[in-house]
Amino acid sequence: MILHVIPTLSSGGAEKMLVDIVREMQNQGVDCEVAVLTPSHDFFGQEIVKLGIPVFYGPTSKVYSVKNILFLKRIIEKNKYDCIHTHLFAPQLFTPIALKLARISIPLVTTEHNTHNKRRDSKKFYWLDNWLYHQYDKIIAISADTKVNLRSYLNNTGPKIEVIANGINIIQYAESQPTERTQLCESLGKDEKIVLMVAAMREQKDHETLIRASKILPQEYRIIFVGEGERMEEVQNYARENGSSSILFLGRRSDIPSIMKASDVFVLSSKWEGFGLVVVEAAASGLPVVASDVDGLKEVVRTIGGQVFEPFNEHDLAKKIISSLESENVELDVSKYTIQETVSKYLKVYKDIIKE
């Protein structure tokens, strides 16, 4: 039995990835449970519940509340887990503490989802991170750049790190049906080119560069943003002041594969990125991909055959968007990024550390 621990299941790449992971683990005959450090008003949690996988929700909306340590302690004490797998910082920190309080020894695995985070900019967090990663039997880096950056920050983590690329259900995206354009926006014309970006409105993402590019692109190019988050209002205000009048915000959607099928080109503009799974999803949908030339993300984009642009350069981004649509018969290869392969490698990691 594997316990996965994550801060929320509301939105985001790590959250979406966890849903696919537990679904595939179920397909491969592995029992899973999920602990979420926030209450149950989430988005992806509903998908896990549909699978019949138990989900335990935290007592407070504050992810970093110390109450979550006791919450995890109670779950660990009541259930017999063979391994615990944490995702993102709060679970990475609280789970080892909960284990020590419960006086239970269970192998610990964590996934490093990004090449960078703000803690690494502050020396005061170095000793905390050094202690934290020392508690884990294995650290899974989702890309080679993610591993390199973590080792550069904490050089003693090297022997524990294993690179396992994220994966997707390729068929889900390749065979989805396009949504009607008028369902996205009544004013969308059949000759307009849809430039789609799917990304949570968080500090890590750089919606602003695509917004500025909207004024450079030809008039028939229409920018559509899917996603929400704490920066939603800030990004919308920026669009009103610095973008074209035809930018569309769809908020959070559950029909991403169908929206991708209705679009013409996909953009992921990021300040930093561990992997950028959404570019693989877009490529599987048949879209040309243009993404920021940053560690982690560029590795994936170049592997699948997409294009990268200079970060924060709206002119280079607009140029790459136009050229990606003018290029004929460009086929992107996502075959190495399957969820089946990802989960099989995860399970091998679990088995290896459980035997030790």
Is 244 in a helix, a strand, or coil?
coil
260-278 confidence digits (pLDDT tens): 999 999 999 999 888 888 9
pTM score, two decimals?
0.86
User: Hey, what domains does the chain have and what are their CATH numbers?
Assistant: 2-167+338-355 (3.40.50.2000), 170-326 (3.40.50.2000)
Q: 42: which residues sit within 8 A by CB, 6+ positions away? A: 8, 9, 10, 36
Mean pLDDT on 82-103: 95
Could you read off the pLDDT of 205-243 as tens digits, one per residue?
A: 999 999 999 999 998 899 999 998 899 999 999 999 998
* pLDDT for the residue numbered 263: 93
- Cα distance from N-terminal residue to C-terminal residue, the chain: 17
pLDDT over 80 at 124, yes or no = yes
The whole-number average pLDDT for the span 101-107 is 93
Contacts 24+ apart (CB under 8 A), 344-347: 344/28, 345/164, 346/21, 346/25, 346/85, 346/140, 346/164, 347/25, 347/28, 347/30
Alpha helices in the chain (DSSP H): 13-27, 45-50, 67-78, 89-102, 126-134, 144-153, 170-174, 181-184, 207-213, 232-242, 256-261, 277-284, 297-304, 314-326, 339-355
What is the predicted pLDDT for the residue at 243? 87
Can you say how many angstroms the Cα of residue 57 is from the centroid of all Cα atoms in its chain? 21
User: What pLDDT is stored for residue 12 in this prediction?
Assistant: 75
The model's pLDDT over 190-207, given as tens digits with 9 standing for 90+, comes to 788 999 999 989 898 999
> Tokens standing for 268?
């992921």
pLDDT at site 328: 64
Which pLDDT score is estimated for 264?
A: 92
- Position 329 pLDDT exceeds 70: no
Q: How far apart are CA 304 and CA 168, in angstroms?
A: 13
| pLDDT at site 232 | 93
Decide which of 189 and 130 is more confident. 130
Q: How far apart are CA 126 and CA 230, in angstroms?
A: 26
